[in-house]
Chain A
Amino acid sequence: MDIIVCVKQVPGTTEIKMNKETNTIIREGAEAIINPFDEYAIEEGVRIKEKMGGSVTVLSMGIPKVADLLRETIAVGVDNAVLLTDRAFAGADTLATSYALATAIKNMESYDLIVCGKQAIDGDTAQVGPSLAEKLGIPHTTNVKKIEEIKEGYIRCQRMTDDGYETIEMSLPAVITVVKEINEPRLPSLKGKLRAKKTEVKLLTAEDIGADVNLCGLKGSPTQVIETFVPEFEVKAEMFEGSAKEQAKSLADALLSMKYAKRVD
């Protein structure tokens, strides 16, 4: 079973610098990590491979330095690493990102399953996984917490919901996005690290994958970020005085005036 795991580089700190002109994150120079949810995706991919044979390929889009992060995934059992890196990809929103990823995947020989983390911890959109499936014309399930069964052309998994889970069957190839409940990612191994050192990350440009540059990067992104800011939370406190009855009346009046309550006679 050949598995593709899509991973994203995210800032490793909470001190994020923004590009004021494009309102996108400045990724150069900042400490970078693999999006934590993607680590669960990698682990699940490797577990399926270990059980059924086949291969795991990690795929990412980003600056050339991301290759170092992708190489680290070899140490936890990934076989191949592919990085889409090109100026044309810069500033992509989720639509342009899933276009680029889908175009690269269409060029790959064969695949049975695509695994993504449920969302990235920087943008928090959770859109790329489902959008990728749409572009590839294959089914998808989000927030998978357990794979109950997987075999040639078939997967049955549990999709986490607010109050339990749904069991979903799909034909393969398909896309799943996973939550952290699905597994405990393994630690890198020494033999894996030694292997990683020798592994070359395949770098591909927009031209290499035959992508239309007008659909990539900032050009292909209809999402316009107008402004980014840390929301301010203001807490106003009003103290009511008087007897309990008076305080209750003052509180009721205040709630009514704020339209949080409705008088019932």
Chain B
Amino acid sequence: MNYFLTEEQEMIKELAAKIADEKIAPIAIEYDHEGKFPHDIVKYLAQSDLCGVYIEEKYGGLGGGVFEMALVVEELSRACGGIALAFAGTGLGTYPIILFGNEEQKQKYLPDIAAGKHLAAFALTEHDAGSDAAGVRTTATLDGDEYVLNGTKQWITNGGEADVYTVIACTNKDKGARGFSAFIVEKDTPGFTYGKKEDKMGIRASCTRELIFNDCRIPKENLLAREGMGFIVAMKTLDRTRPGVAAQAVGIATGAFNAALKYSREREQFGQPISSFQAVQHMLADMAIQIEASRALVYQTCRHIDSGAKNISKESAMAKVIASDTAMKVTTDAVQIMGGYGYMREYPVEKMMRDAKITQIYEGTNQIQRNVIAQELIKEAAKQKK
């Protein structure tokens, strides 16, 4: 399908595809089994100028937006959804600075991220703050020219590998979510350590750790926006990065579909390729329909966001839900088409099935996304009545 990408977007897609096919695909299974972080792949991304596609040109980026980020994530995820997270998780950690950083903060942090020298991470989730993001317990207390951070963040993508962390902490306990603030914390700040590396079902080449803050002092200049803006920083960021998760899901689904289609034409049973059986044909057709529908919504949502639209939560949530549900369905069906081979760890689709699951869970579960969508629908309807 022709999505009428610009010439620059086509180039981005081509370069990301080249890295996916030539550099990621050959090592994806090994990195998954060994839980190896893809520093080498980040180097290739940097060499190809892809790390900064969503960062403004004056900070060394390409000047693209959410769409450019999504195109890279999709292509990389076709080969490995876990490895793609080194890039996508950095996008999540960087967007708070892009959206709410002041000039000094942008000058200080964005160029190194655009150049691929630094990775970033976003830290909102805690033991008691998952779907209910308002449950954040980590505190930040102003003491002279510094904020003092205390608390533990959980399941942070790129944790321990990233150089720059955007952390949501509570600066005023009495105000609930309105008492949250967002901070930039650099790696190696005294009082900032990491918990163990989590042993996950999928996206195993991505690194997920706890972030532990124990009287961690950061300069007060590291506050993003103003005190009390933390929850808004988080929500506005997630609205822009959910299409990234959606693109990851589209990529994983595409990778699994391609493998299943190829296999169905090669595998012979009852004296003919299994692709000649209608039972298999209909599965392939359904997989392709779901993937293309998801991709179309993801791309259009990205364009909607990049056009500067104000209300993007609903569309962003819709794209994430359809793409991640599709990824789960398509990868499961890919395993089914490939039968016993699909179930074996030496073939890539069982990994894709494991990788797909997280896309229904993180950056807001699909249940929470449906809440968001329904709330927006009801709000819009109420407005129209007046």
* Contact for A187 among B8, B15, B53, B62, CB less than 8 A: B15
**CB within 8 Å of B: which of A177-213?**
186-194, 197
Contact in complex: A191, B49 (CB < 8 Å): yes
Residue of chain B at shortest CB distance from A191: B49
Within 8 Å of chain A (Cβ to Cβ): is B50? yes
Residue of chain B at shortest CB distance from A189: B49
Contact in complex: B12, A189 (CB < 8 Å): no
Contact in complex: B8, A188 (CB < 8 Å): no
Residue of chain B at shortest CB distance from A197: B7
Contact in complex: B11, A187 (CB < 8 Å): no
Contact in complex: A187, B47 (CB < 8 Å): yes
Contact in complex: B49, A190 (CB < 8 Å): yes
* Chain A positions within 8 Å of B23 at CB level: 187
Contact in complex: B47, A190 (CB < 8 Å): no
Query: Complex: how many Å from CA A190 to CA B61?
Result: 11
* Chain A positions within 8 Å of B11 at CB level: 190, 193-194
**CB within 8 Å of B: which of A98-148?**
none
* Chain A positions within 8 Å of B62 at CB level: 190
Minimal beta-carbon separation of B69 from chain A (angstroms): 13
| Most chain A CB neighbours (cut-off 10 Å) among B23, B48, B62 | B48
Within 8 Å of chain A (Cβ to Cβ): is B177? no
Within 8 Å of chain A (Cβ to Cβ): is B18? yes
Query: Complex: how many Å from CA A64 to CA B161?
Result: 48
Minimal beta-carbon separation of A198 from chain B (angstroms): 12
**CB within 8 Å of B: which of A147-197?**
186-194, 197
* Chain B positions within 8 Å of A197 at CB level: 7
| Interface 1/0 per residue, B1-26 and A, CB below 8 Å | 00000011001100100110011000
* Chain A positions within 8 Å of B8 at CB level: 190, 194
Within 8 Å of chain A (Cβ to Cβ): is B44? yes
Contact in complex: B15, A186 (CB < 8 Å): no
Query: Complex: how many Å from CA A187 to CA B22?
Result: 10
* Chain A positions within 8 Å of B7 at CB level: 197
Query: Complex: how many Å from CA A187 to CA B23?
Result: 10
Minimal beta-carbon separation of B349 from chain A (angstroms): 27
| Interface 1/0 per residue, B94-121 and A, CB below 8 Å | 0000000000000000000000000000
Which secondary structure dominates where chain B touches chain A?
helix
| Interface 1/0 per residue, A194-238 and B, CB below 8 Å | 100100000000000000000000000000000000000000000
Residue of chain B at shortest CB distance from A192: B49
Contact in complex: A187, B12 (CB < 8 Å): no
Interface residues on B, range: 10 to 19
Residue of chain A at shortest CB distance from B12: A190
Query: Complex: how many Å from CA A190 to CA B46?
Result: 10
Query: Complex: how many Å from CA A186 to CA B7?
Result: 22
Residue of chain B at shortest CB distance from A190: B49
Query: Complex: how many Å from CA A102 to CA B18?
Result: 35
Minimal beta-carbon separation of B74 from chain A (angstroms): 16
Minimal beta-carbon separation of A191 from chain B (angstroms): 5
| Most chain B CB neighbours (cut-off 10 Å) among A191, A193, A197 | A193
Minimal beta-carbon separation of B247 from chain A (angstroms): 18
Minimal beta-carbon separation of B64 from chain A (angstroms): 10
Residue of chain B at shortest CB distance from A186: B47
Minimal beta-carbon separation of A165 from chain B (angstroms): 27
Contact in complex: A193, B15 (CB < 8 Å): yes
Minimal beta-carbon separation of B11 from chain A (angstroms): 5
| Interface 1/0 per residue, B35-53 and A, CB below 8 Å | 0000000001001111001
* Chain A positions within 8 Å of B50 at CB level: 190
| Most chain B CB neighbours (cut-off 10 Å) among A190, A193, A197 | A190
Residue of chain A at shortest CB distance from B8: A194
Query: Complex: how many Å from CA A187 to CA B51?
Result: 14
Residue of chain A at shortest CB distance from B19: A187
**CB within 8 Å of A: which of B182-213?**
none
Minimal beta-carbon separation of B42 from chain A (angstroms): 13
* Chain B positions within 8 Å of A187 at CB level: 15, 18-19, 22-23, 44, 47-48
| Interface 1/0 per residue, B216-231 and A, CB below 8 Å | 0000000000000000
* Chain B positions within 8 Å of A186 at CB level: 47
* Chain A positions within 8 Å of B12 at CB level: 190
* Chain B positions within 8 Å of A190 at CB level: 8, 11-12, 15, 48-50, 53, 62
Minimal beta-carbon separation of B223 from chain A (angstroms): 33
Residue of chain A at shortest CB distance from B44: A187
Query: Complex: how many Å from CA A188 to CA B18?
Result: 9
Query: Complex: how many Å from CA A122 to CA B8?
Result: 34
Residue of chain A at shortest CB distance from B49: A190
Query: Complex: how many Å from CA A190 to CA B18?
Result: 12
Minimal beta-carbon separation of A76 from chain B (angstroms): 10
| Most chain A CB neighbours (cut-off 10 Å) among B7, B12, B18, B47 | B47
* Chain A positions within 8 Å of B47 at CB level: 186-187, 189
**CB within 8 Å of A: which of B24-81?**
44, 47-50, 53, 62
Query: Complex: how many Å from CA A193 to CA B11?
Result: 8
Query: Complex: how many Å from CA A194 to CA B49?
Result: 11
Minimal beta-carbon separation of B45 from chain A (angstroms): 9
Minimal beta-carbon separation of A73 from chain B (angstroms): 15
Query: Complex: how many Å from CA A194 to CA B62?
Result: 11
* Chain B positions within 8 Å of A192 at CB level: 49
Could you list which residues of chain B lie within 8 angstroms of chain A, going by C-beta atoms?
Answer: 7-8, 11-12, 15, 18-19, 22-23, 44, 47-50, 53, 62
Given contacts A187-B22, A187-B44, A190-B12, 12 further A-B pairs with CB under 8 A are: A187-B15, A187-B19, A187-B23, A187-B47, A187-B48, A188-B18, A189-B15, A189-B49, A190-B8, A190-B11, A190-B49, A190-B53
26 chain-A/chain-B pairs, Cβ below 8 angstroms: A186-B47, A187-B15, A187-B18, A187-B19, A187-B22, A187-B23, A187-B44, A187-B48, A188-B18, A189-B15, A189-B48, A189-B49, A190-B11, A190-B15, A190-B48, A190-B49, A190-B50, A190-B53, A190-B62, A191-B49, A192-B49, A193-B11, A193-B15, A194-B8, A194-B11, A197-B7
Closest 4 CB pairs of A and B: A190-B49, A189-B49, A193-B11, A187-B48
